[in-house]
Amino acid sequence: MFKDFRNKYKDNIKDFVQVFSWCISLSWKVSPIYTLLRVSSELFNPILNIVGAFVSKQIINYISGYTGGYHSRYIYNLLILMALIALVKVIMIKVQIYTRMVHSEELDQWMVRNMMDFSFDVDLAYFDDPNYQDKITSAMRDGSILIQALGSSISAISAAISFLIAFVILSKENIFYSLLMIAVAIPSGAALKYYTESLYDLSLDQIANRRKLSYIQNIAFDRRFSQDMRLFQSSKMLKDSYDKLWGRLFIQRKKILKERSRVTLILDFLPEIVLVIVSGHIIFNILDGKLLIGDYVFLSGLLGQLWYSTSGFIASTMEIVENKLRMNNYQSLFKYINRIQDEGELELNKVESIAFENVSFIYPLSEKYALKDISFYIDAPEHVAFVGLNGSGKSTLIKLLLRFYEPTSGMIKINGIDISLYSIGSLRKAFSVYFQDMNNFAFSIRENFHLTNPNEINKDDEIIEALDKSDFMEILSLNDAGLDAYISKFFTSEGLILSGGQTQKLALARVLYRKDTILILDEVSSNLDPKAEHEIFNKLQEMTRGRLTLFTSHRLSNLSLADRVIVLEKGEIIEDGKPEKLLKDNKRYAELFRYQQKKYMVKAEG
Ligand SMILES: Nc1ncnc2c1ncn2[C@@H]1O[C@H](COP(=O)(O)OP(=O)(O)OP(=O)(O)O)[C@@H](O)[C@H]1O
C-alpha cells in the first residue's frame, strides 16, 4: 500500500514536471515577456499576503495595548507600510489581469494555428478515419490546454509557496495547528482529484457521441442542408435523436457531478470545524493572557492560508494531472504520420507522358480494391477520357496521380520517372484539376482566384480571361462590386447566390486560370446547360490543342475532345482505344454510348 502511494506520488511529480516544462517552454516561445510577468506577479501574491497579515497583527496589538497620549512613529510607519502593500497589490492585480488576458489570447491563437498547420498538411486519407476525426474534435476542445496548464502550474507553485510560508510561521506558534489543518484538507483535495479524473475519462468515452451531437447541431445551421430539411421534413426526427443522445450523455455526467457534490460537501466541512476549534483555542489563550488580540487575526489568517493553500495545491496538481491527459490528447494528434512523404528532389516542369504500371489500390480502412492492376501509357498531346459506371475508379485514378494517396502496389510514372521522386509541390503545380465535388470559397471572386494560384502574381485581366473561357463573364454584372463581389451571403448580405451551374462555371474558371498546366476535368459539365456546355467545349478544344489532357464523363456526348478512351469497370481497365474503334468493337463502351444515343433519339422523335 505504501509502495502504491509512493509510486502514485512519484507519477504525480513526474506529470507535474512534464506539464510544467511543456507549458512554460511553449509559453516562453509564444511570449517571453508575458511569461515572466505572469509567473513573477502571481508568485509574489503569497508573500504580499503574509506581510499584510503581519502588519495588521502589529497594528491591532498596538491599538489593544494603547493607553492614550503620544502616537509613536511606529504606528505611522505601519500605516505607510500598509498603504504600500495595498498599492503593490493593486498594481500586481492589474498586471495579472492584463497579462493573463492578453497572454491567454496569444496562447490560444498559437494552439489553433498549430492545429491548422497540421490539418492543412495531413494525409487526405486521415479525413476518412473516424479515430482521426475524434482526435481532431478532442484536440479542438482541448485547444485551451496550454492556458489551463500554465494557469494551474503557476497556481500550484503559488499555493506551494503560500503553504510553506504559512506552515513555517504557524508551526513556530503551534505545530499541532498546522498538522491538523493539513490532515483535514487532504481528503477533500483527493476526492476532488478523483472526480475530476472520472469526468475527464467520461468525456473521452463520450467523444464519438459528442461529435455526433455537434454534427446534428450543424445540420440545423448549415445552409447546404436547409433545403433538404424543409423538403423532407426531417427536423423532428433529428431533434428527437439529438435529445435522446444528449439525455444519455447528460445522465452519465450528472451522476458523477451529483456524487462529487455529496462527497465533497462532507469533506469540505471538516476544515471549517478545525478552524472553529483552533480559533477557540487561540481565543482562550488570549483570555488567559498568553496571546495578544493581534495574534488572533494573524494566526487565524495563517490557518485560513494553510487550508486554502493545501486544498489549492491539491486542486492545482489535480488539474495538472487532468491537464496531462489533455496534453497527451492534444499531442497525440501530431503523432499521425503522413504516409505520403515529400522526399522527392526532382522538380516537375512539364508533363510529357503519364504511365500507370500495374497499379492497384485499396483505400485505407477499406478492404475492397478501388483499382486493380491498372496499366496504361499516355503520351503528350493525347486527350484521354476515362469512362465507366459510378464507382468504377475514375476519380481514384486521378487522386493517385496527384499523390493524394499512394498505390497499394505498382508504380505511376511521369516522363518515365516514378512520381514519388518529384517534389509534391511541383507535381501538383503541374496539373489543374476540376473535381466534381470542387468547392468555391465563401470569399470574393478575386480571392477565389488568388487561392487557386497563391504563389503567382495575380492579375485581374487574367481572371476575366478565365471567366470568359468558362462562359461566365455574366458573374461580373450580377452586382456592382465586380471581382470584389462575395459569392455567398455568409459574410455579407450583398453577396451573390450562385446556381449549381454557375458554381460549376466559377470553379472551372479557377481551374482554367492556372497557366501552363495539364488539365484534368472530372465530370466537368454535369450542371451546365447545353449552350454553356457547347461554348465551354469549343473553348476547351482550343485551349487543349497540343496539350496532354485527361477527363472523365458519363455524358458520352462530351467525349468529342477525346482521341482515346479508357473504359473502367470495377477498378479494372476493360477497353482502351480510339472512340471509333471502341464503337466498332461493340463492347461496353458501345453499349454505354447506345444507351444515351437511344434516349436522345426517342426524345427527338417524340
Ligand atoms: N475515400 C474513400 N475511402 C474508401 N473508399 C472510397 C473512397 N473514395 C472512393 N471510394 C470507393 O472507391 C471506388 C471508386 O470510387 P471513385 O470515386 O474513383 O469512382 P468514380 O468512377 O469516380 O465514380 P463516379 O462516376 O460516381 O464519380 C468506389 O467503390 C468508392 O466507394
Cβ–Cβ under 8 Å, residues 35 and 27: yes
Model pLDDT, residue 221: 85
Model pLDDT, residue 49: 84
User: Measured between alpha carbons, how far is residue 376 from residues 382, 410, 548, 551 in Å?
Assistant: 12, 12, 14, 15
pLDDT digits (tens, 9 = 90+) for 226-257: 878 887 788 889 999 999 999 999 999 999 99
pLDDT digits (tens, 9 = 90+) for 100-131: 899 999 998 999 899 999 999 999 999 988 88
Task: Give which of 567, 558, 559 is closest to 586, Cα–Cα.
Answer: 567
Cβ–Cβ under 8 Å, residues 185 and 370: no
516 C-beta closer than 6 A to ligand 1 = no
Please return the burial class of 294, using the count of CB atoms within 10 Å of its CB with bins 0-12, 13-18 and 19+.
Answer: buried
Identify any residues that bridge with 383 across adjacent strands, giving them in sequence order. 549
Closest atom of ligand 1 relative to the 568 alpha carbon: 21
Segment holding 418, helix H or strand E: strand 417-418
ipTM of the complex: 0.98
N-terminal to C-terminal alpha carbon distance within the chain: 90
> Which residue's CA is minimally distant from atom 27 of ligand 1?
390
75 CA from centroid of ligand 1 (Å): 86
Instruction: Please state the length of the chain.
Output: 606
Taking residues 468-497, what's their average pLDDT? 90
pLDDT digits (tens, 9 = 90+) for 55-64: 888 888 888 8
User: Measured between alpha carbons, how far is residue 513 from residues 3, 384, 470, 475, 496 in Å?
Assistant: 70, 21, 10, 16, 21
553 C-beta closer than 6 A to ligand 1 = no
495 C-beta closer than 6 A to ligand 1 = no
Angstrom distance (rounded) from CA 488 to CA 443: 7
410 CA from centroid of ligand 1 (Å): 19
Model pLDDT, residue 603: 47
592 CA from centroid of ligand 1 (Å): 20
Does 42 have pLDDT greater than 60?
Answer: yes
HEC assignment per residue over 249-297: HHHHHHHHHHHHHHHHHHHHHHHHHHHHHHHHHHHHHHHCCCCCHHHHH
Cβ–Cβ under 8 Å, residues 125 and 364: yes
pLDDT digits (tens, 9 = 90+) for 290-332: 888 888 888 888 888 888 888 788 878 777 777 887 888 888 8
> CATH 3.40.50.300 spans which residues of the chain?
351-430+519-533+545-606, 433-516
Model pLDDT, residue 194: 84
64 C-beta closer than 6 A to ligand 1 = no
570 CA from centroid of ligand 1 (Å): 10
- Residue ranges in 424-563 assigned as alpha helix (H): 424-429, 445-452, 460-469, 500-513, 530-543
Q: What is the dihedral of CA 153, 159, 163, 164, to 10 degrees?
A: 50
Describe the crossing of helices 32-65 and 2-30 by its angle, rounded to 10 degrees. 120
Angstrom distance (rounded) from CA 274 to CA 268: 11
Q: Which CATH number fits domain 433-516: 2.160.10.10, 3.30.70.1350, 3.30.479.30, 3.40.50.300?
A: 3.40.50.300
Q: Which CATH number fits domain 2-209+240-333: 1.10.4080.10, 1.10.8.60, 1.20.1560.10, 3.40.50.2000?
A: 1.20.1560.10
397 CA from centroid of ligand 1 (Å): 10
Angstrom distance (rounded) from CA 413 to CA 354: 6
pLDDT digits (tens, 9 = 90+) for 448-482: 999 998 877 788 999 999 999 998 999 998 888 99
> Which residue's CA is minimally distant from atom 9 of ligand 1?
396
Model pLDDT, residue 296: 86
User: Any idea which of 99-108, 268-277, 477-486 has the lowest mean pLDDT?
Assistant: 268-277
Cβ–Cβ under 8 Å, residues 159 and 313: yes
pLDDT digits (tens, 9 = 90+) for 132-180: 888 888 888 777 888 888 888 888 888 888 889 888 988 888 888 888 8
Task: Give which of 531, 574, 578, 584 is closest to 559, Cα–Cα.
Answer: 578
363 C-beta closer than 6 A to ligand 1 = yes
519 CA from centroid of ligand 1 (Å): 21
276 CA from centroid of ligand 1 (Å): 73
Taking residues 390-416, what's their average pLDDT? 95
395 CA from centroid of ligand 1 (Å): 7
Does 604 have pLDDT greater than 50?
Answer: no
Angstrom distance (rounded) from CA 385 to CA 540: 14
414 C-beta closer than 6 A to ligand 1 = no
> Which residue's CA is minimally distant from atom 7 of ligand 1?
363
User: Any idea which of 15-29, 337-351, 564-578 has the lowest mean pLDDT?
Assistant: 15-29
Predicted structure pTM score: 0.79
pLDDT digits (tens, 9 = 90+) for 414-442: 999 999 999 999 999 999 999 888 889 99
388 C-beta closer than 6 A to ligand 1 = yes
419 CA from centroid of ligand 1 (Å): 22
For 54, the grid coordinates are: 503581519
392 C-beta closer than 6 A to ligand 1 = yes
Model pLDDT, residue 606: 44
Model pLDDT, residue 359: 98
Angstrom distance (rounded) from CA 457 to CA 534: 31
E strand residue ranges, 62-188: none
For 508, the grid coordinates are: 472551372
> CATH 1.20.1560.10 spans which residues of the chain?
2-209+240-333
Model pLDDT, residue 530: 80
Q: Which CATH number fits domain 351-430+519-533+545-606: 3.40.50.2000, 3.40.50.300, 1.10.540.10, 3.30.70.260?
A: 3.40.50.300
Angstrom distance (rounded) from CA 210 to CA 136: 12
